[in-house]
Amino acid sequence: MIKLHDLHFKPFISEKEIDTAVQKMADAIAADLGDEVPVFVGIFNGSFMLVSDFVKKYPKPCEVTFIKLASYEGVKSTEDIQRLIGLTQDLTGRTVVILEDIIDSGNTLEEVHRIFENENVKQLLIATLFYKPEAYNKDFKLHYVGMEIPNKFIVGYGLDYDGLGRDLPDVYQLKTTQHMTNLVLFGPPGAGKGTQANFLKEKYDLIHISTGDVFRFNIKNETALGMLAKSYMDKGELVPDQVTIDMLNKEVEKNTGANGFIFDGFPRTNAQAKALDELMDSKDSQINAMVALEVDDEVLVKRLLERGQTSGRADDADERIIRNRIKEYYNKTAILKDYYAEQEKYFGVDGVGSIEEITVRLSKVIDKL
Ligand code: IMP
Ligand code: MG
């Protein structure tokens, strides 16, 4: 993922794929032109990288020149195209091949045709590395197209967003979901996860998705997914990850405008963590951090026993059960700690102290994401 000015972009087309497409165009054009020496005309600025790579791959003699037009401001095509540098050589009787980085609305191409109207060239061929068929609204024939792409704004390989990104060897696509803060919240029983989740939700305007709550909601309301989950539970079987993911997906989709999510109680396994990554990826988003409250076992046991005296929760009353639950937690989460640490997304936060002290520690981590 990269950020240019205020916008986030995700990897879209690799340097290698571009290289292959450029090579194919060069071969196709060379095959069609036979022994004729063409004049390749690049359109500045965007096509500088393409032209450079293209002519190196072109297997026969050729000439190269550039014209400069400007049609784009920010991320929207404008009608107003200016010719900044025109043709500087006589092209009478020559085969001219326009090398465009990208054809979007076709406005630039229209201007190119206007420029060549009176040049008496033998033929004018159009070659473009990228082409957005959904955006194109002209009738000019495109003789060579490297790659058709969806109607989304891209940067890299000569293409810019407000001046930035031209230098990137790969192509990136504008993310439809801009930056979100998505957290996976962890903590052993008694660590104060619920309290801190409530605080984070308020402070960062996040949606708290507690898997337990989501399950109870779906089962209580007898949704299709709830009934499906229940059918496994009734047989004493584990609910398949996909069912849980589908439920989480629904929750995420209910809140498309959210600043982000706090996932609580999920993932529990490596496979689930991967599935969650895929889910977020499909939303053009990502998990930014696993935040784990770290509290010493003895402190936890003491806290839970105290809680048991007032709450009456049976599982908080028995020290042996408590210790077992804590052990279970570490057995299960150790793998996830590794999973997120590998992506440099694991943040352990000291969970001993006053509620305020802990919230300050959590905020320090989140503010840096
Ligand atoms: P058109 O005139 O709408 O076909 O757009 C052509 C010009 O707009 C290109 O030469 C680029 O300079 C710019 N452009 C179109 N689409 C993109 C994009 O996705 N990223 C960056 N520039 C673009
Ligand atoms: Mg261009």
Using 50, 70 and 90 to split pLDDT, how confident is the model at 304? Answer: confident
Tell me what pLDDT residue 61 has: 97
Structural tokens at position 308: 């048991």
Whether omega for the bond prior to residue 249 falls within 30 degrees of 0, making it cis, is no
* Binding site membership of 71 for ligand 1 (Cβ less than 6 Å): yes
Q: Tokens 């010719």: give the residue.
A: 83
Structural tokens at position 33: 């032109």
* Binding site membership of 126 for ligand 1 (Cβ less than 6 Å): no
CB 166 within 8 A of CB 160: yes
pLDDT digits (tens, 9 = 90+) for 135-152: 999 999 999 999 999 999
pLDDT digits (tens, 9 = 90+) for 170-218: 999 998 776 789 999 998 888 889 899 999 999 999 999 999 899 999 9
pLDDT digits (tens, 9 = 90+) for 248-294: 999 999 987 788 999 998 998 899 999 999 999 888 889 999 999 99
Q: Picking from 79-83, 162-166, 236-240, which range would have the lowest pLDDT averaged per residue?
A: 79-83
Using 50, 70 and 90 to split pLDDT, how confident is the model at 57? Answer: very high
* Binding site membership of 226 for ligand 1 (Cβ less than 6 Å): no
Rounded percentage of the chain residues whose pLDDT exceeds 90: 70
CB 110 within 8 A of CB 82: no
pTM of the model: 0.67
**Phi-psi region at 220: left, alpha or beta (left = phi > 0; alpha = psi -120 to 50):** alpha
* Binding site membership of 159 for ligand 1 (Cβ less than 6 Å): yes
DSSP class of 7: E
Find the 141 Cα to ligand 1 centroid distance in Å.
17
Q: What SS3 state is found at 86? A: coil
Tell me what pLDDT residue 284 has: 84
Q: Whose CA is nearest to atom 13 of ligand 1?
A: 72
Mean pLDDT of the chain: 91
| Distance in angstroms (rounded) separating the CA atoms of residues 201 and 259 | 10
Using 50, 70 and 90 to split pLDDT, how confident is the model at 55? Answer: very high
Q: Picking from 42-51, 52-61, 74-83, which range would have the lowest pLDDT averaged per residue?
A: 74-83
Using 50, 70 and 90 to split pLDDT, how confident is the model at 87? Answer: confident
Cα-based distances in Å from 267 to 62, 242, 248, 336:
58, 12, 11, 8
pLDDT at 316 over 80: no
| Distance in angstroms (rounded) separating the CA atoms of residues 127 and 38 | 13
Strand partners for 85: 68
Find the 153 Cα to ligand 1 centroid distance in Å.
8
Tell me what pLDDT residue 261 has: 96
Using 50, 70 and 90 to split pLDDT, how confident is the model at 83? Answer: low
**Which residues are near ligand 2, the ion (C-beta closer than 5 Å)?**
43, 46
* Binding site membership of 106 for ligand 1 (Cβ less than 6 Å): yes
Find the 53 Cα to ligand 1 centroid distance in Å.
19
Burial 140-153 (b: 16+ CB within 10 A, else e): eebbbbbbebeeeb
**Phi-psi region at 344: left, alpha or beta (left = phi > 0; alpha = psi -120 to 50):** left
CB 162 within 8 A of CB 156: no
Tell me what pLDDT residue 329 has: 87
* Binding site membership of 211 for ligand 1 (Cβ less than 6 Å): no
pLDDT at 58 over 80: yes
> How much is the average pLDDT of 222-239?
92
Mutate to test the pocket of ligand 1, among 2, 5, 71, 155 (most ligand atoms within 8 A of CB): 71
| Distance in angstroms (rounded) separating the CA atoms of residues 365 and 269 | 24
* Binding site membership of 107 for ligand 1 (Cβ less than 6 Å): yes
